[in-house]
Structure 1
Amino acid sequence: MKLQHHLGGVENLGPVSVETRVFVEPWERRIFGIHTAMMAESNHLGDALPAYPIKELPTAFKSTWTWASLRTGAEDMQPFEYFKYRYYEKWLMGISQFFVDQGYITADELAERASLYRADPQAPMPDSPSAPIKEQIDAYLEKGDSGYRERRTEARFSNGQTIRVADPEAVDHTRLPGYLRCKTGKVVEVYPGTFSYFVSTGVDGIGEPMVVYRVAFDAADIWGEGKSEPHTTIYADLYEAYLQASL
């Protein structure tokens, strides 16, 4: 499993940043805006809840871009590179590589545009989004999207049941915190309906809609008594694919 998938419980990563500002540099706002516009024009919104008229949207963006796309792009970085760059720098790298991989722009064209704006930060920006795209972005910001589906299968586990977290094969992107692998916890809530993720994680187990559980863990069972405050409970929302019956 890649180190950068989940950092909770990992020792010796250096001092923890206590920065409270959402955007530290002005350019970070633009990166967030680009990501939001891509989400609002993504193909997956045609099947999301609520559904959007994405096929009628007058946009040249014809791909699927979700939070999973952003996370996978960041987690695919070489670990030493990942820890060298700041949060929105990782976003920028993931988004840039996506546009190159999808054929919207070549690496040489991207380098040329970057050089242009580096030499002249006041150079005119590309055209603003059209009115329909602006309306779509506003609608997406207001309504969002969801992978929720009506439940068609019975939940394997019930409230109060003791479970053991699985240890699936490492993949490019996972929704399972590494520090919970092979740990024992108790189901404290079975969420209604089923939930899908934006992408399939393959052998990791996430794909079709499935039940999601809220599971409670004793912190001492995760990190040991010497590194945990007493009477501390850790809660995690976990897909059913990550849970096993406790022996």
Structure 2
Amino acid sequence: MKLQHYLGGLEGLPSPLALEKRVFVEEWEKRIFGIHVAMMGLSNHLGSAAPGYPIDSVPTTFADEWTWADLRTGAEGMNPFDYFKFRYYEKWLGGITAFFVDKGYVTEEELAARMAEASSATPATDIPEIDEQVIAYLRSGDTPRRDTAHPTFAVGDTVRIANPRTDAHSRLPGYLRGRIGTVERIFEGDYAYFCETGDGIGDPMPIYIVAFDPVEIWGARAESGPLSLYAELFEAYLEPMEES
């Protein structure tokens, strides 16, 4: 999570923030969501996912991997000023578009031409095998491999949050790096992440809920009162406290 993804560590944000409660504000947003879901349902990693999918037999020209991690990587790579300027699904559209251009599925010139013809766009042709695969994905998901939990830490342990090298994508909020918290809960399994993030996660490992005192994070500027901040963190992001 880069700059624009850990608002808890930023100052000077507009006040009050506008919190939109509707899932879709414009009709076109539903289509962007559908494109993303279809890409996930046709991603080539599904052949080894649990449960298994017959992805190799689906007649699709989409031959790459696309997961939530890829979508988030596109958003995290945006200029922070653009990130705050664009709407939620505009960020999705930007990430998806950049992916298709980078992978060679479409050129920028072709995109410009299609935008000019948008009013007369041709509806997509239904292919039953593709429709069935996407529906199967929607019903079953692509839950990463789970195993019995093998936690290094126990509930009540005091831990320090690691400060690993940041790569293209991370699941660690920047404002928690180096902070001290307490393990509140351990999830029941070991969980994998479908891509190697470069900062320690990828292979199956336990996930914890860690509680933080706001003063530990924000110092004297923290609001007063019996407040706590909770974060779900992969084990790779936790370090034991050295005994004094």
Q: What CA RMSD, in Å, does the superposition of the two structures yield over aligned residues?
A: 1.7
User: Is the CA contact 2:2–2:173 (under 8 Å) kept in the aligned structure 1?
Assistant: no
Q: Which of 221, 227, 234 is 2:229 aligned to?
A: 234
One-letter amino acid of the counterpart of residue 61, structure 1: F
Correspondence 1:93 to 2:94 = yes
2:150–2:190 CA contact under 8 A, matched in 1: no
**Are 1:146 and 2:137 matched, yes or no?**
no
1:169 aligns with 2:170: no
Amino acid at match of 1:29: K
Task: Please tell me whether residue 211 in structure 1 is matched to residue 206 in structure 2.
Answer: yes
Q: Judge conservation of contact 1:166–1:243 (CA < 8 Å) in 2.
A: yes
Contact 1:215 / 1:236 at 8 angstroms: preserved in 2? Answer: yes
Tell me which residue corresponds to 2:191. 195
What do residues 79-129 of structure 1 show as CA deviations (whole Å, max 9, x unaligned)? 222222111111111101101111111111111111211xxx2x1434233
Between the two proteins, the alignment pairs up a number of residues equal to: 241
Q: Runs of 5+ in structure 2 lacking a partner?
A: none
What corresponds to 2:76 in structure 1? 75
- For residues 6-17 of structure 1, the aligned pairs below 5 Å read 6-15=6-15, 16-17=17-18
Q: 3-state SS of the aligned residue for 1:191?
A: strand
TM-score when scaled to structure 1? 0.91
Partner of 1:178: 174
Q: Tell me the amino acid that sits aligned with residue 46 of structure 2.
A: L
Q: Which moved more, 1:2-11 or 1:71-80?
A: 2-11
Tell me how far apart the structure 2 counterparts of residues 113 and 206 of structure 1 sit (CA, whole Å).
39
Following superposition, the deviation at residue 207 of structure 1 comes to 2.0
**Residue matched to 2:239:** 244
| 1:200-247 deviation per Cα after TM superposition (whole angstroms, max 9, x unaligned) | 111x11122222111111223222354324111222111111000113
Structure 1 unaligned segments of length 5 or more: list them.
none
> In 2 relative to 1, CA 81–213 (structure 1 residues): closer, same or farther, beyond 3 Å?
same
1:59 aligns with 2:60: yes
1:2 paired residue number: 2
Aligned AA (2:109): D
Q: Secondary structure at the match of 1:193?
A: strand
* Identity of matched residues, %: 53
TM-score (norm 2): 0.92
AA aligned to 2:129 is P
